[in-house]
Structure 1
Amino acid sequence: MSETTITKTTLTELIENSPKLGKLKHKLSKFKKGSNEYFAALFSDLVLSKSSDFKAYLKQQSVPLPGTDHVKGYSAIYRNSLSPEKLVSAIDSSLDTGYKMFSRAVEIYGDNDCLGERVYDQVTGKWSDYYVWESYRQVQQRSRNLGAGIISLVNTSRGRPLDTADFIVSIMSTNRKEWILTDLACQTFGLANTALYTTLGEETSEYILNLTESPVLVLQSSNLLKVLSYLPNLKHVTTLISMDELSDAELKNLNENFLNGVKLFNMTQVESIGSLLKVDPIPPTPESLYTISFTSGTTGMPKGVELSHEHLASAVSFAKTNFDLSTAEMSKSKQHYELCFLPLAHIFQRQITSISLSSGFGCGFMHIPDPSCLTECLRILKPTFLAVVPRILTKMESGIKNSLNNDEVSVITKNIAHNILDAKLSRFQSRGGPDDSFINSLLYHKVLIDKIRTQLGFDNLEFMVIGSAPVSNETLMFMRSCLDVGIKQGYGLTETFAGLCISETYERDVGSCGGPGVSCEIRLKSVPSMGYDAEKELKGEIQTRGPQSVVRYYKNPDATKSAIDKSGWFSTGDIGYIDNKGRLHIIDRVKNFFKLAQGEYIAPEKIENSYLSNCPEITQIFIHGNSLETFLVAIVGVDPGALLETLTKYYGVKAKGLSPEEMVNKINSDTSLRVKVLVLLNRHVPKLQGFEKIHNLHLGIEPLKIDDGNITPSFKVKRNSCAKFFKEEITNMYKEGSLIRSNKL
């Protein structure tokens, strides 16, 4: 097979032609191909690994293509073992765009709950303890009206025909129902969109709006004041649409006194205009631009990743073939639900929500965009699955461990809980698959597991998906054990419309990101400067290609040329290796490492994740070191209550009358207390080598903030920014020296 050959197919064609998927083909043969009944049956059982010889698949999840192992400096090309000859670009030729997928979902699941929110009671001043839903049919009608209104208003202001779909719609909002309505409106009328994080600074927001020449900005009212401050610098914006209902007086005042010719509308007004005009939909094609997703990169201005409807369709196909959720006979009382928690401006959440909206799932939103309200909303919604990033998983892990070790819990109860968790861990380490034993369902669940699940709102949870950054194996196994739930770890980037590799749900040997999905191929490139040999050791920089992979960056030919070669291979910047089962493991980052003075290489993300997953007292950490120093220092965010409890337990430390801030300041100013904290933290990470452990630290209560530019909206540490922001603290720690060596710890 030629190194440059890619042949595309659809899932339905793959099922029809692959001997490995004969069971699924036979099941579908009972229905007329292309009918709603056919697709309902398909969606109910589309995990391809389970539709084949599952044991054989687990042993060989991807395979090297014959004749592709001869290129110097590269590994062979690997593809999913269930589709080695062709790459999947859509579920079916009739489902090759976002518009077609949602339209089919409306036909099949029209009365299902679609978008839900909690409502605020003006009388009681409280948010409802239930979700209010709009059905798939209602959402479809509203999004069509909204799209017709947007395209009419924008084209009228530009003097263009009403059906001209050549502009980009910008969205600036936290996750909410109106965000999805706007996205669906764009899909209906072939309009591309771009999402701006609400935490973006003025300079970056201006840059994106001017680069895209977007004439319309759909935003929540809380962002209006910020946008008004730089509206005169926006060269192309003619229309603002508020997701929140503004009074007639507010609209009149803003339009007449502050907008200088730019028109502001309520979203409901735009929907009313669209319902009156009844502009026919303008369906996109697979090649149509779906969205420009600006990366929340850790340096410089963000790059705009062009993602087409083919990218969307292939990304949905990838996820549908891997998510262990049954939609068979899914009635309104037996429906799957997802909490739309991660930012929709992040491509990971857009992939997850696209799965929900093409599968008849209910998509609920938080009433306040605050992670501290996550558990409250989970308890009400009780989702079937949840997508999280490592930071959220480690915080859950810390919370569970703190609860189990609380002094108010009796010694007997603690022993029972730890015995159960040890038994669960031993079982999952010895064999894969869900735990179907009687002792698990009759004893472990009733005594411990169901209580933990109920506390977190995980009563109905079937599995979790984790992505965006690496997470430790210890965290994965602990969370799987105490929740008795499968956790799938995925790998992907903005440039691949999120996940393109994902692990099996209940694998015994956790830690991999699974094999490549059916919609991509991967290979490894040697990185001699870091000692990685792709040809001999199957270790190197991950490259990917196929229907899910980026073709170009928006108006940025230099970035395109730098990241994508002439054969279409996209260089991810991540270092990985492929094991003997054909699974990908992420082990490093091409540029994200540094040397200490003694010549030791440091991978900071690995160290940070180790501390986060093993130390329940900490919530954030930024590791710093350089080639002029012999040890590492850290800026550490702590949970004051958990830290005080641990210090009291081991050292009898008291903080009577001190606020959390005062307690943290007291520790920072008292070397002996910081030594105690350091001892406790380093005791939790015995697997780290001595030079990988932190030797000095500065504490804070959430020191890393998005608003300060120290972390991205997806919680990745911006190392250069942190080094500048905490320059004084870092200088002082190195001036003070190693607390480990000076105290002979």
Structure 2
Amino acid sequence: MSAPNVDMQAVELPGSRRPGQTGVYRRKGYEDALLVVPPTRPHIKTIYDAFEHGLRLSPNKPALGRRVFDPVTKTYGGYVWETYTEVSDRITRFGSGLIKIHQDAFGLAQVAQKFSVGIWAINRPEWTITSGSCSAYNLVSVGLYDTLGPEAVTYGINHSESSIVVCSADHVATLLNESHKMPGLKVVISMDSFDNEKPQLGSVNTGAILRTYAHDKGVLLYDWAEVEALGIKYGHKHTPATPDDVYTICYTSGTTGLPKGAILTHRNMNAVLASADVTTPMTTDDVLISFLPLPHVFGRVMEIFAFSAGGKIGYSTGDPLRLLEDIGQLKPSVFPAVPRLLNRVYAKVYAATIEAPGLTGVLARRGLATKLANLEAGKGITHPLWDRLLFSKIKQAIGGNVRLMLTASAPISAEILSFIRVAFCCEVVEAYGQTEGKSESFVPEPSATATQEIEICSGAATNTNTSERIAGHVGPPNACNEIKLVDVPELNYFATDKPHPRGEICVRGPGVISGYLKDEEKTRETIDDEGWLHSGDIGIIGDNGVITVIDRKKNVFKLSQGEYIAAENIEGKIMARLPFIQQILVHGDSTESCLVAIIVPEPDTFVPFVNKVLSGVNLALENVADYKRICSDPKLRQLVLHEINKAAKDIGLRGFEVPKAILLEPEAFTVENNKMTPTFKIKRHPVVQEYRERLNALYAEIHSKESKL
């Protein structure tokens, strides 16, 4: 197929308009039929087929790689690889072992037709091999977030009826401790060896003690090697899934309430692979860095893209502080990243180059201006002079070989996207989706995107073209989905709005889930009788068919004077203009007429800002105590608020959309401190509750100033 027309990227199907909604839009070139199988590889109909295709392409080439830890030097070495054939053999051995263990645990004379297998670990080869075994033997994999803790894991295991859980050694004791809450849990398999001569879990938690403890708990405990050994002894031929069989249960990492179990079939996932086949194809030469959590569909889909092409997948060590070191060792060509990481990379590189003093800064600014002008003019992302002088060195920060970045799942700005494209000389594809339609929703303005997980699970609902030169939108519908907008009268969004239609984004297609596990009410609430998934996001469809997400229905609230506030939209716009802001939460009480905000600064760019605006201050990054103290300085808060006011004027925020008071929080919102979900979304309600007294103090401060006027 010829390269997509960047000027017209989606078309409205003739005769598809109805009252209260737009017509139905499909990606340009795919008006007649939505993709279900990859056009260049139509024999791939399931995820099992996808891996088998990669195996045929690269039987003796590296497939999965990891860095091995040396306990003597306390360091990680280079990557060690297993070939596709070796991985395939392990899938067969481990899958056969799973079948035998399940038979023994339940006293079955024959192989059970289907059962669920929980997976609880950081990204590592065994995670992918377990998932591959499930596909080879038509079992259901259930990804459990490594960071969620025992309560959420217990819920997922019980809700999905996972009788077997495969986990890293550090989770074995936790599962056994909580096993009385999981009556259906019969088997725990450690991905790590139980060598009684070498304690694997520290202190006294040796394999022998754990086995005794498991026996007392009525749980069968195996290590990985034992399962593979059983698979060799009791081998089974593959009994792969069909397209309509369930591939995985994907639990949404929502900010409130219990997780929802989205049911994803092989057809759902394969449709997303088909879409990637025509927009972001990978080859046998590609190397993927795997660090995004595999229970989330974004991470899983990226691995499917890679192994279906016979490419290499290298796993990070799991330590965020070591990620750039991992990247330097692996030198990936494909780099999926959440905007939170890209924001930090941008801040570091920008500070070291564009804001550098002397000749270095002068050259960097001139080179950046030249490349950005070329990008906007459609002249590409490379430059023969400036790349040689400057940007080839900058590329080394992410390994030097990245040709393609894919981003989803959280706020990002158009300015940062454009900078990354030209600074790292790579294409950047921005995807919009949710777990249920595989959509990480964003809210882009002319320069920003904000996010909230929605329901289209399996791949992106939209994505930009690799040839895209204009940032700030999330592209046309993916080739496996179609999209329409529906009126939201309570928020004054209508399909008849001018100059562009606005409304709730609805998605339909083979990439959309059929429903939620054991939750008919939520399924009916989310997916209507015609198969349209109602995302909860508000979007605009541009003249060329691209989607811009501007609001989230659930995160719109009303101030006392009756004005509606789209918090995520405001947050995204402010962050896009002020690189020293790492995170921001805009808040408004219904009894108040103005907004306040919690701001987490980005240390790398905030420290230079502080030293510039506060006379006599020479703050150092490494001085944590001084950094925390300065964040409580009233004068600094006012100076930051002044910058926000200037940015608000530049981007056209209305007066009631601008925070009137702020607090500076030196500690970032993270998954570990329970202020973010595993997919890096701020847990808005819990954070507001935790900061309630300080937010009330901000309002009191505002009222005090008003009373003196």
Counterpart of 1:622, as a letter, is: L
- Bigger shift: 137-146 or 192-201? 192-201
* Map of 1:20 onto structure 2: none
Of 9, 21, 40, the residue aligned with 1:74 is 21
- Bigger shift: 647-656 or 277-286? 647-656
State the alpha-carbon separation in 1 of the partners of residues 389 and 469 from structure 2: 24
**Aligned pairs (5 A) from 1:367-516:** 367=317, 369-404=318-353, 409-429=356-376, 431-432=377-378, 434-435=380-381, 440-441=383-384, 443-457=385-399, 459-496=400-437, 497-516=458-477
Counterpart of 1:80, as a letter, is: R
* Map of 2:211 onto structure 1: 255
- Bigger shift: 246-255 or 163-172? 246-255
State the alpha-carbon separation in 2 of the partners of residues 151 and 452 from structure 1: 50
Structure 1 residue 318, shift from structure 2 partner: 1.0
- Deviations, residues 645-696 of structure 1 (Å, cap 9, x unaligned): 2211232343679974422442344312322333345555532524333332
Residues 644, 585 of structure 1: CA spacing in aligned structure 2 closer, same or farther, 3 A cutoff?
Answer: closer
State the alpha-carbon separation in 2 of the partners of residues 705 and 738 from structure 1: 32
* Map of 2:200 onto structure 1: none
* Map of 2:294 onto structure 1: 344
* Map of 1:137 onto structure 2: 85
- 8 Å CA contact 1:152–1:162 kept in 2: the answer is no
State the alpha-carbon separation in 2 of the partners of residues 96 and 161 from structure 1: 31
Counterpart of 2:129, as a letter, is: L
Aligned-residue Cα RMSD (Å) equals: 2.3
Of 154, 168, 188, the residue aligned with 2:116 is 168
Of 527, 536, 556, the residue aligned with 1:564 is 527
- 8 Å CA contact 1:193–1:292 kept in 2: the answer is yes
* Map of 2:552 onto structure 1: 589
Residues 738, 96 of structure 1: CA spacing in aligned structure 2 closer, same or farther, 3 A cutoff?
Answer: farther
Structure 1 residue 205, shift from structure 2 partner: 1.8
- Deviations, residues 215-235 of structure 1 (Å, cap 9, x unaligned): 101111122233233111101
The 3-state SS of whatever aligns with 2:189 is strand
Structure 1 residue 208, shift from structure 2 partner: 1.4
- 8 Å CA contact 1:695–1:740 kept in 2: the answer is no
* Map of 2:651 onto structure 1: 687
Residues 62, 702 of structure 1: CA spacing in aligned structure 2 closer, same or farther, 3 A cutoff?
Answer: same
State yes or no: 1:301 paired with 2:301.
Answer: no
- 8 Å CA contact 1:640–1:660 kept in 2: the answer is no
State the alpha-carbon separation in 2 of the partners of residues 739 and 694 from structure 1: 16
State the alpha-carbon separation in 2 of the partners of residues 264 and 159 from structure 1: 16
- 8 Å CA contact 1:638–1:701 kept in 2: the answer is yes
Counterpart of 1:113, as a letter, is: P
- 8 Å CA contact 2:187–2:219 kept in 1: the answer is yes
The 3-state SS of whatever aligns with 1:561 is helix
State the alpha-carbon separation in 2 of the partners of residues 297 and 351 from structure 1: 20
Q: Which runs of 5+ in 1 are unaligned?
A: 1-50
- 8 Å CA contact 1:89–1:310 kept in 2: the answer is yes
Structure 1 residue 451, shift from structure 2 partner: 1.4
Residues 682, 452 of structure 1: CA spacing in aligned structure 2 closer, same or farther, 3 A cutoff?
Answer: farther
Q: Normalising by structure 2, what TM-score?
A: 0.90
State yes or no: 1:121 paired with 2:49.
Answer: no
- 8 Å CA contact 1:655–1:663 kept in 2: the answer is no
- Bigger shift: 357-366 or 420-429? 420-429
Structure 1 residue 597, shift from structure 2 partner: 3.3
Structure 1 residue 366, shift from structure 2 partner: 0.9
Structure 1 residue 486, shift from structure 2 partner: 1.6
Residues 278, 658 of structure 1: CA spacing in aligned structure 2 closer, same or farther, 3 A cutoff?
Answer: closer
Counterpart of 1:725, as a letter, is: E
State yes or no: 1:88 paired with 2:88.
Answer: no
Counterpart of 1:167, as a letter, is: F
Structure 1 residue 62, shift from structure 2 partner: 1.8
- Bigger shift: 336-345 or 396-405? 396-405
State the alpha-carbon separation in 2 of the partners of residues 341 and 518 from structure 1: 26
* Map of 2:641 onto structure 1: 678
State yes or no: 1:279 paired with 2:236.
Answer: yes
- Bigger shift: 351-360 or 226-235? 226-235
Counterpart of 1:361, as a letter, is: G
- 8 Å CA contact 2:571–2:586 kept in 1: the answer is yes
- 8 Å CA contact 1:617–1:639 kept in 2: the answer is yes
Residues 160, 131 of structure 1: CA spacing in aligned structure 2 closer, same or farther, 3 A cutoff?
Answer: same
Residues 600, 100 of structure 1: CA spacing in aligned structure 2 closer, same or farther, 3 A cutoff?
Answer: same
Q: Which runs of 5+ in 2 are unaligned?
A: 198-205, 438-457
State the alpha-carbon separation in 1 of the partners of residues 299 and 178 from structure 2: 29
Q: Normalising by structure 1, what TM-score?
A: 0.86
Structure 1 residue 641, shift from structure 2 partner: 5.2
State the alpha-carbon separation in 2 of the partners of residues 215 and 190 from structure 1: 15
Structure 1 residue 478, shift from structure 2 partner: 2.0
State the alpha-carbon separation in 2 of the partners of residues 573 and 116 from structure 1: 39
* Map of 1:733 onto structure 2: 698
- 8 Å CA contact 2:53–2:309 kept in 1: the answer is no
State the alpha-carbon separation in 2 of the partners of residues 301 and 245 from structure 1: 33
State the alpha-carbon separation in 2 of the partners of residues 644 and 518 from structure 1: 45
Residues 717, 596 of structure 1: CA spacing in aligned structure 2 closer, same or farther, 3 A cutoff?
Answer: same
Structure 1 residue 199, shift from structure 2 partner: 1.7
- 8 Å CA contact 2:559–2:593 kept in 1: the answer is yes
State yes or no: 1:702 paired with 2:667.
Answer: yes
* Map of 2:96 onto structure 1: 148
State yes or no: 1:550 paired with 2:513.
Answer: yes
State the alpha-carbon separation in 2 of the partners of residues 413 and 538 from structure 1: 46
State the alpha-carbon separation in 2 of the partners of residues 575 and 658 from structure 1: 40
* Map of 1:531 onto structure 2: 492
- 8 Å CA contact 1:397–1:613 kept in 2: the answer is no
Structure 1 residue 717, shift from structure 2 partner: 1.3
- 8 Å CA contact 2:414–2:576 kept in 1: the answer is no
* Map of 1:540 onto structure 2: 503
Counterpart of 1:340, as a letter, is: S
- Bigger shift: 350-359 or 73-82? 73-82
* Map of 2:441 onto structure 1: none
- 8 Å CA contact 1:311–1:548 kept in 2: the answer is yes
Residues 154, 692 of structure 1: CA spacing in aligned structure 2 closer, same or farther, 3 A cutoff?
Answer: same
- 8 Å CA contact 1:515–1:584 kept in 2: the answer is yes
Counterpart of 2:104, as a letter, is: T
Counterpart of 1:349, as a letter, is: G
- 8 Å CA contact 2:482–2:507 kept in 1: the answer is yes
- Bigger shift: 552-561 or 717-726? 717-726
State the alpha-carbon separation in 2 of the partners of residues 323 and 668 from structure 1: 43
* Map of 1:37 onto structure 2: none
State the alpha-carbon separation in 2 of the partners of residues 133 and 162 from structure 1: 36
State yes or no: 1:633 paired with 2:575.
Answer: no
Of 127, 130, 135, the residue aligned with 1:182 is 130
State the alpha-carbon separation in 2 of the partners of residues 702 and 223 from structure 1: 27
State the alpha-carbon separation in 1 of the partners of residues 707 and 319 from structure 2: 41
State the alpha-carbon separation in 2 of the partners of residues 483 and 239 from structure 1: 47
Counterpart of 1:696, as a letter, is: A
Residues 173, 697 of structure 1: CA spacing in aligned structure 2 closer, same or farther, 3 A cutoff?
Answer: same
- Deviations, residues 37-57 of structure 1 (Å, cap 9, x unaligned): xxxxxxxxxxxxxx32x36x3
**How many residues are matched?**
674
Of 172, 176, 180, the residue aligned with 1:224 is 172
- Bigger shift: 700-709 or 193-202? 700-709
Residues 344, 65 of structure 1: CA spacing in aligned structure 2 closer, same or farther, 3 A cutoff?
Answer: same
